[in-house]
Amino acid sequence: MDQSLTSFIDIAADSDFTLHNLPYGIFSETPEGLRRVGVALGDWVIDLTVLEQHQLLDLPIATQYFSQSSLNAFIAAGATTWSGVRRALQYLFSSERSVLQQDKALLKQVLLPRSALYLHLPIEVAGYTDFYSSKEHATNVGSMFRDPKHALLANWSELPVGYNGRASSVVVSGTDIVRPSGQIKLVDQQRPIFSASKKLDFELETAFIVAKNTQLGQPVPIDQAWEHIFGMVLLNDWSARDIQQWEYVPLGPFNAKTFASAISPWVVTLEALEPFRTAGPVQDPEPLDYLKEDHRHNSFDINLSVKLLPAGGDQADVICQTNFKHMYWSMAQQLTHHTIAGCNLQVGDLMGSGTISGATVDAYGSLLELTWNNSKPLQLSNGQSRGFIEDGDSIIMQAYAEKDGIRVGFGEVRNQVLAAIDFNFPVK
Amino acid sequence: MDQSLTSFIDIAADSDFTLHNLPYGIFSETPEGLRRVGVALGDWVIDLTVLEQHQLLDLPIATQYFSQSSLNAFIAAGATTWSGVRRALQYLFSSERSVLQQDKALLKQVLLPRSALYLHLPIEVAGYTDFYSSKEHATNVGSMFRDPKHALLANWSELPVGYNGRASSVVVSGTDIVRPSGQIKLVDQQRPIFSASKKLDFELETAFIVAKNTQLGQPVPIDQAWEHIFGMVLLNDWSARDIQQWEYVPLGPFNAKTFASAISPWVVTLEALEPFRTAGPVQDPEPLDYLKEDHRHNSFDINLSVKLLPAGGDQADVICQTNFKHMYWSMAQQLTHHTIAGCNLQVGDLMGSGTISGATVDAYGSLLELTWNNSKPLQLSNGQSRGFIEDGDSIIMQAYAEKDGIRVGFGEVRNQVLAAIDFNFPVK
């Protein structure tokens, strides 16, 4: 890793988007304007379509990876292509001999001010799977909803528990979240009522993006699993706890989570994250053979935080700080387990980590855990308190990795909650 | 309904594919040949691209609905277009003044022998949702896996329980099913083992196909729900009961069902099924307002059967006969419930009914129920017995509606089971 990699572009010391990062996203210059692929660099976005047209990215002639409304085509091009573009960009923006250093007109065409652009969902989400791989989170939820003495179910320690999510409702940061309505069951009533959710919650997660199509009936061996991952995003897996509690037995969460799952707009590549590889937890019991992996390098040291910006406020409070490295099951184990019975994967599959909770109360990754199901409301700096999320509140999740003076950040996923729809049912 | 609708094409009296039916599918003339849209008629397939090019389908000039590898574009065109094409086809193949009656060269170009064609997945499956709407099935499964005294959970009677399935592994009839492997938990062992599934099962289902994109946060009212459905197919929701039992608590089935979900190649339109509308069960308790619907016309009288063709055999045994009309929750209720919290739908979403079981033992829609979890194996006519499905067995599901001499059939979904992969885990 070349720590001296600096750009002739002005990049703030604490920027998430350094020359070591180079995350990919989809942008347009007007809300309905042409969508295309860009890379975030400092306060700028590199318009890759211009560099592709000028054949400055070390790609074969006449590729069309970047005149696209999603990253899927570029992702499908494979690791050699990703690395080539990364090297080309690092050269273009650091070398004194770079054509961009010399041709200011071209540079102006290539670099667009990030704050003036519109960011869109970076991938066409083929399938969305959500895992449940934080031991602390699974223990907390099991304690609250099932049996504190046997909070962790027997299968949890043997396999990365996961379920199919709803791909159509994956949205990008910035999308407003309409408070969901549905059936909720109050303890003092025999039948459920129809109501806006009273327990709207966030879930702090990351997600990885699948890079290769695989065939039905052909599992991915664990020692090849990392090659199937393109990069990572932040994920807020919005959840309605009251809808969830009534509906989820026996087939799992459905309407409690299908109203929105929000991701950050910039996909941080696994290549950019390699310097931050670290040990995951020692797994006990030792996993079955198909899940066996050297734990010393199967996680990443990524700092995560959640802020709550209350309705009408201008001061966001940090309500959670934790780290990705606590996750019990690795991304490779998740991916391999997903395919072991024969399920095929697709370029653009999004796979959520599950809520990431640390061991201490200030590291819990959901309000359900932070307020212990509203029994210990959070005190905000504006004097208000929160058990769950109120209309007008915004949730902001951020993440970064930092080591030896090198910083690779995720930016943020931020959404504001709008009031529920006013239903007017026709009289029968 | 014009019962006298007969064709100048020879159509067998018991054909599923009458002029009253006209189901849509995707075919090619060679395995890798050009895929396009066809309609099944008797033993023939109508090549709709030829009729579209000749402007014989009452469509605007230069549409491209049928030179497609899926039905999605035609489905998105909407109900007026579907009805127009249906009327045009009925006229073209019944009228003595039809150009096809007069122009035998054109007729030969249009009508292809079905047995010589290759059939493909008819839709690009946007999302796959599976419901659980047979009271008899839910009661049977609850009795076996939970508590016979409280087999039906409290939420089951209040909402159409459903979960997100895996869209990528939806396959067409004819696809071989590799026996899945994974973690199974034997009663006499403390830890799970890795094994090929010993309890491979089918689930007899139908599924409907969503016709319209909807917006996130905008539920579909129940009185508009039927307009969002294009048609129906047969669905075998292949299941590995031992993998399922170990993995499914608390987030629902995952690897037990993501290895394959098979559908019939011909999509029978709701318009063709209208004559067979019938009453669904009276619902008790009366549903909440958002799910209220007149039950007298919210189901369909569709006969369903399952055959098992044992490995190496030439005689398939009928092992289940039931009817779709027993389903407790209607397709409209399923669709509306799916959107009530704000989830958006997409053209090409596939929504499974859940296993369809009738009240009697011979009407159960899975081997789990038919053999009561292998405690009462089925006797086959070849002298063998089956608790679950063995390698080489084929499962064949068929369906048809019949009334006043009019028959509308689904054809079949048929798959053969192949032996599990021989895993060779690398020694660590």
Q: For position A402, what pLDDT does the model report?
A: 98
- B416 alpha-carbon distance from chain centroid: 17
C-alpha to C-alpha distance for B264 and A121, rounded to whole angstroms: 34
A130 is known to lie in a ligand binding site: yes
| A425–B260 C-beta distance less than 8 A | no
Beta-strand ranges (E) seen in B185-333 are 193-196, 200-201, 204-210, 229-236, 239-240, 261-263, 268-269, 277-278, 299-300, 303-309, 317-323
B175 has a pLDDT exceeding 90: yes
Q: Which residues of A173-208 are buried (b: 16+ CB within 10 A; e: fewer)?
A: bbbebbbbbbbbbeeeeeebeeebbebbbbbbbbbb
Backbone angles phi, psi at B395, to 5 degrees: -115, 130
Burial of B234: CB neighbours in 10 Å, binned 0-12, 13-18, 19+:
buried
| B260–A159 C-beta distance less than 8 A | no
**DSSP state letters, B340-372:** TTS----TT-EEE------SSGGG-SSHHHHTT
- A351 alpha-carbon distance from chain centroid: 9
Burial of B257: CB neighbours in 10 Å, binned 0-12, 13-18, 19+:
buried
B2 has a pLDDT exceeding 60: no
Q: For position A7, what pLDDT does the model report?
A: 87
Residues of A classed as catalytic: 137
Question: Which amino acid appears at position B216 of this protein?
Answer: L
pLDDT tens readout for residues B368-415: 999 999 999 999 999 999 999 999 999 999 999 999 999 999 999 999
Tokens of A257: 């989570």
To the nearest whole Å, the CA of B290 is away from the closest chain A CA by 7
| B153–A194 C-beta distance less than 8 A | no
How many other CB atoms are found less than 10 A from the CB of residue A285? 9
* Intervals of chain A under pLDDT 50: 1, 427-428
Q: ipTM of the predicted structure?
A: 0.97
Q: Are strands A128-131 and B406-418 parallel, antiparallel or unpaired?
A: unpaired
**CB-based contact (8 Å) between B99 and chain A?**
no
Contact residues on chain B for A425, CB-CB shorter than 8 A: 289-290, 292
In the DSSP assignment, the letter for residue A267 is B
Q: What is chain A's alpha carbon radius of gyration, rounded to the nearest angstrom? A: 22
Contact residues on chain A for B169, CB-CB shorter than 8 A: 216, 342-344
- Chain B residue with CA closest to A176: the answer is B217
Instruction: Select from B343, B349, B416 the residue whose CB has the most chain A CBs within 10 Å, as the one to mutate to test that interface.
Output: B343
How many other CB atoms are found less than 10 A from the CB of residue B278? 16
Tokens of B409: 């059939």
Residues of B classed as catalytic: 137
| A161–B165 C-beta distance less than 8 A | no
| A289–B341 C-beta distance less than 8 A | no
pLDDT tens readout for residues B218-271: 999 999 999 999 999 999 999 999 999 999 999 999 999 999 999 999 999 999
C-alpha to C-alpha distance for B207 and B357, rounded to whole angstroms: 15
| A167–B167 C-beta distance less than 8 A | yes
**CB-based contact (8 Å) between A167 and chain B?**
yes
Q: For position A426, what pLDDT does the model report?
A: 52
- Chain A residue with CA closest to B160: the answer is A247
Residues 339..358 of B with a Cβ closer than 8 Å to A: which? 340-346, 349
Contact residues on chain A for B250, CB-CB shorter than 8 A: 146, 153, 161, 248-249, 252
B23 with B267: CB under 8 angstroms?
Answer: yes
Express the helix, strand and coil content of chain B in percent, nearest 5 each: 25, 25, 50
C-alpha to C-alpha distance for B151 and B157, rounded to whole angstroms: 12
To the nearest whole Å, the CA of A165 is away from the closest chain B CA by 6
C-alpha to C-alpha distance for A142 and A145, rounded to whole angstroms: 5
How many other CB atoms are found less than 10 A from the CB of residue A145? 16
C-alpha to C-alpha distance for A297 and B223, rounded to whole angstroms: 55
* Segment (H or E) for B41: strand B36-41
C-alpha to C-alpha distance for A140 and A366, rounded to whole angstroms: 10
- Cα–Cα nearest to A263, from A391, A124, A122, A117: A122
pLDDT tens readout for residues B31-40: 999 999 999 9
| B292–A428 C-beta distance less than 8 A | yes
Confidence category of residue B426, pLDDT binned at 50, 70, 90: low
Find the CB nearest A168 among B162, B217, B346: B346
- Mean pLDDT value across chain B: 96
A261 is known to lie in a ligand binding site: yes
Q: Which domains does chain A have, with CATH numbers?
A: 24-120 (2.30.30.230), 128-418 (3.90.850.10)
Burial of A105: CB neighbours in 10 Å, binned 0-12, 13-18, 19+:
exposed
Q: For position A425, what pLDDT does the model report?
A: 62
Furthest C-alpha separation in chain A = 75
C-alpha to C-alpha distance for B153 and B144, rounded to whole angstroms: 13
**CB-based contact (8 Å) between A312 and chain B?**
no
To the nearest whole Å, the CA of B270 is away from the closest chain A CA by 24
How many other CB atoms are found less than 10 A from the CB of residue A70? 18
Contact residues on chain A for B153, CB-CB shorter than 8 A: 249-250
pTM: 0.97
Residue % of chain B over a pLDDT of 90: 93
| A341–B256 C-beta distance less than 8 A | yes
- Cα–Cα nearest to A403, from A9, A10, A7, A21: A21
C-alpha to C-alpha distance for B34 and A57, rounded to whole angstroms: 35
Contact residues on chain A for B162, CB-CB shorter than 8 A: 251, 254
| A153–B421 C-beta distance less than 8 A | no
pLDDT tens readout for residues A393-409: 999 999 999 999 999 99
**CB-based contact (8 Å) between B151 and chain A?**
no
C-alpha to C-alpha distance for A37 and A44, rounded to whole angstroms: 13
**CB-based contact (8 Å) between B292 and chain A?**
yes
Find the CB nearest B247 among A159, A192, A223: A159
C-alpha to C-alpha distance for A296 and A325, rounded to whole angstroms: 11
pLDDT tens readout for residues B24-62: 999 999 999 999 999 999 999 999 999 999 999 999 998
